[in-house]
Amino acid sequence: MARAAVYLETSVIGYATARPSRDLVVAGHQQVTREWFACRAGAYDLFVSQLVVSESAGGDEDAARERSSFLRDIPRLGTTEAVGDLAARLVASGVVPRKAAEDALHIAVAAVHGVDYLLTWNCKHIANARMRQAIERVCREAGYEPPVVCTPEELMEDE
């Protein structure tokens, strides 16, 4: 049986590599993310896009270097014309706000490439219960099966 594919959105990379936060919620997300990579990531085929690589390269130089090192061996999915078209549909439909167009690209990369899960901590524009059905509808109308959008905590299985 083939392993499920997981697209890692930039927030997951940031939480996996950042220094521990003093903010209790962020620290909890960091811990869950690190546990997911330590215990569960090996059960999946992991992917990122060039957008994740580019977003991860920003900010503090040391942190960017850490994120870049983390991403080194994770295969990249291409940002094709079909990806651009689906991202544009997500924004044009109002499902993803224009100011969050890069979030639409993450969703589109995962959908167009047939990825099973989109792993993210972006609960404002991606892993948002109010937006989930609309995202799925736009993907299906465009002919793509949407990925299951979830946080690392939601993709933890009991041992």
Residue 108 and residue 126: Cα distance in Å, rounded?
A: 11
pLDDT tens digit at each of 159 positions of the chain = 689 999 999 999 999 999 999 999 999 999 999 999 999 999 999 999 999 999 999 999 999 999 999 999 999 999 999 999 999 999 999 999 999 999 999 999 999 999 999 999 998 888 888 888 999 999 999 999 999 999 999 998 754
**pTM of the shown model:** 0.94
Could you give the domains of the chain?
Answer: 5-155 (3.40.50.1010)
Q: What is the pLDDT of residue 72?
A: 95
Q: What is the pLDDT of residue 1?
A: 63
Q: What is the pLDDT of residue 158?
A: 56
Beta bridge partners of 149: 118
Phi, psi for residue 146 in degrees, rounded to 5: -70, 150
Strand intervals (E) in the chain: 5-8, 45-49, 76-77, 117-119, 148-150
The CA angle 49-108-25, to the nearest 5 degrees, is: 70
Residue 143 — left, alpha, or beta (φ > 0 → left; ψ -120 to 50 → alpha)?
Answer: left
Q: What is the pLDDT of residue 32?
A: 96
Sequence letter at residue 28? G
| Beta strand 76-77 pairing with 5-8 | unpaired
